[in-house]
A and B are shown apart, each in its own frame.
Chain A
Amino acid sequence: MTDKRSNPGRPKVVLEGLTKTFETKGDPLLVLDNIDLTVGEGEFVCLLGPSGCGKSTVLNIAGGFEAPTNGSAHIDGEPVTAPDPRRVFVFQEYGIFPWASVWDNVVLGIRNLSRDRQHEIAKEVIDLVGLNGFEQSYPMELSGGMKQRVEVARALAVSPDVLFMDEPFGALDSLTRLTMRAELIRIWEERRPTILFVTHDVDEAVQLAERVVVLSARPGRIADIVTVDLPHPRDLGSAEYGRAKNRLYELLGVSHKI
């Protein structure tokens, strides 16, 4: 396997002047306003913002599913025009195919490799997400957390260099969510893909990201970028952690004392 250790100096995903308007029945709706963001190779960046701020739109544009009205998205210096198996989107649990077994879901992206190679990779990623013994199960037989693991395993099978994650743990209960975050960090440290992770959960952002990009409410603009300079595993009770959280709540304009 190629060395995927990060090279933080090197820009991986570059968004320049991203602007997006949606045509609605009345006036055009400005969703994103002039987003500039550079994500370094192997970096873990969270996009944090209130619902409807356009953070998923940023991801959709970077992933090649939508075109910006203005501005551009580049990955490895090349303009993004369409989705690409080297950069995989991880949806909420519903992205996997309910008509296919866990195994068939996982090998989707590597279906053109030789049988032996498929076996080797699928075994490895199923092992990595802890789904051994469930290869022949169908998604409807699995819990929400396990479906999410399938989704992650399917993404990892293609050894992507970028993962776009759109509130991937949003549908899970809070305990499973914590476990999944720890797993994700473990996998990220092992394989070092560049991760762009969308969330509206301040805790999630502070627990995961190296940098948190805070977007304002519609139209989405970058309010600030907060660096969380804490090594993993992070101590959720530390003063540094608390400070980062407070700063994010402040930026979002939300009271965090109840």
Chain B
Amino acid sequence: MITAVLVLLLACGGLYFGLRTSTRTQEWALPSALAIALVAIWDLICRAVGSDVFPTPFVTWLAFIELLESKRLWGDVVASLFRVTWGFFLAAGVGIPLGLVIGWSTRTFRAMNPIVQGLRPISPIAWIPIAILWFGIGDGAGIFLIFLSSFFPITVGTTAAVRNISLVHQRSARNFGVRGLELFRRVVLPAAMPQIITSLRIALGVAWLVIVAAEMVGMDSGLGYLINDARNAGSRYDLVVATMILIGLIGIVLDLLIRRLERFDEVRWGYVQR
């Protein structure tokens, strides 16, 4: 109890002094101090309420170590990542070309956009029964669900990117006689690329959200299944919270990885303020 209060006070002091330091120090000092403060508050609330089901930060830490040492964790991580990777790449492989065509051809846009917009609001979670019906319990259903949840952001984002290509760039291309496939390669695709990358990033975020839900409902492996399993097998809420934190950390890593795409010279122009 006293330790938690002390930590909280220290963290608040850290926040206070962090505000006075240089911008570069603030970038890591402020969020770290705030995170420590939040963990201390979490600890204090646990003790104040006196629940023996909900884990304190320390118990969660122990569970985290237990998870890392257990053999099954890596199997579950790999299962989740496997489904997300395949579903995501399939969705990008279909969604980017489709979005380019829908965005470029007004007729295709008229024909397909209403259908895409109509299917898009259906939560991928709602597809779980159908996914299991078609693919059974296992990777197939997971990949299918991730495909669905990534496909719409990628297709819609790519479509919008192409429709946003500036008139001046289109005219420059026409002026210099760029047409046909060359127009796609030299103008349409590069002009749309920054926004396509943004849509990939959104799609991967959604995919990581959906896979956990899908594994909780309809699969027998993966991080979502691990959460369900921990709760069902003796209310191990310490394992539940530890897994949640791990899911968050992996999500951050995935986002950092995909953001590397934004650094290429050919797309950097799309992310600066104009």
Contacts and interface: CB of A to CB of B under 8 A. Distances in A.
Interface of A: 63, 65, 82-85, 88-89, 91-92, 94-101, 108-109, 138-140, 158
Interface string B182-195: 00001100110100
Contacts of B169: 94-95, 97
Contact of B168 (A82, A84, A91): A91
Contacts of B190: 97, 99-100
A83 B168 contact: no
Nearest to A91: B168
Contact of B267 (A85, A99, A139): A99
A83 B172 CA distance: 9
Contacts of A96: 172
B268 A138 contact: yes
Interface of B: 166, 168-169, 171-172, 174-178, 186-187, 190-191, 193, 265-270, 272
B172 A95 contact: yes
Given A99-B190, A138-B269, 5 more contacts: A91-B171, A99-B266, A99-B269, A139-B269, A158-B176
18 contacts: A83-B174, A84-B177, A88-B175, A89-B175, A91-B168, A92-B168, A94-B168, A94-B169, A95-B171, A96-B172, A97-B191, A99-B193, A99-B266, A100-B190, A108-B186, A109-B177, A139-B269, A140-B269
Residue of B178, B190, B193, B269 with most chain A CB atoms under a 10 A cut-off? B269
A89 B170 CA distance: 12
B176 A85 contact: yes
Contacts of A97: 169, 172, 187, 190-191
- Of B166, B171, B172, B267, chain A has the most CB atoms within 10 Å of the CB of B172
Nearest to B170: A65
Given A99-B269, A140-B272, A94 B177 contact: no
A85 B177 CA distance: 6
Nearest to B191: A99
B184 to A, nearest CB: 13
Nearest to A151: B172
Nearest to A82: B174
A162 B181 CA distance: 28
Contacts of A91: 168, 171-172
Nearest to A92: B168
A88 B193 CA distance: 26
Nearest to A164: B175
Contacts of A95: 168-169, 171-172
A138 B175 contact: no
B172 A89 contact: yes
A63 B175 contact: yes
Contact of B171 (A65, A101, A109): A65
Contacts of B187: 97
Contacts of B265: 101, 138
A85 B269 contact: no
A169 B20 CA distance: 44
A94 B267 CA distance: 16
B172 A140 contact: no
Contacts of B175: 63, 83-85, 88-89
A89 B171 contact: yes
B267 A108 contact: no
B176 A140 contact: no
A138 B178 CA distance: 21
Nearest to B169: A97
Given A97-B169, A97-B190, A99-B193, A108 B176 contact: yes
B188 to A, nearest CB: 11
Nearest to B272: A140
From B193, B265, B270, name the one whose CB has the most chain A CB atoms within 10 angstroms.
Answer: B265
Given A94-B166, A97-B187, A108 B178 contact: yes
Contacts of B266: 99-100
Contacts of A99: 190-191, 193, 266-267, 269
Contacts of B267: 99
A140 B168 contact: no
Nearest to B268: A140
A149 to B, nearest CB: 16
A91 B168 CA distance: 7
Nearest to B271: A140
Contacts of B172: 89, 91, 95-97, 108
B116 to A, nearest CB: 26
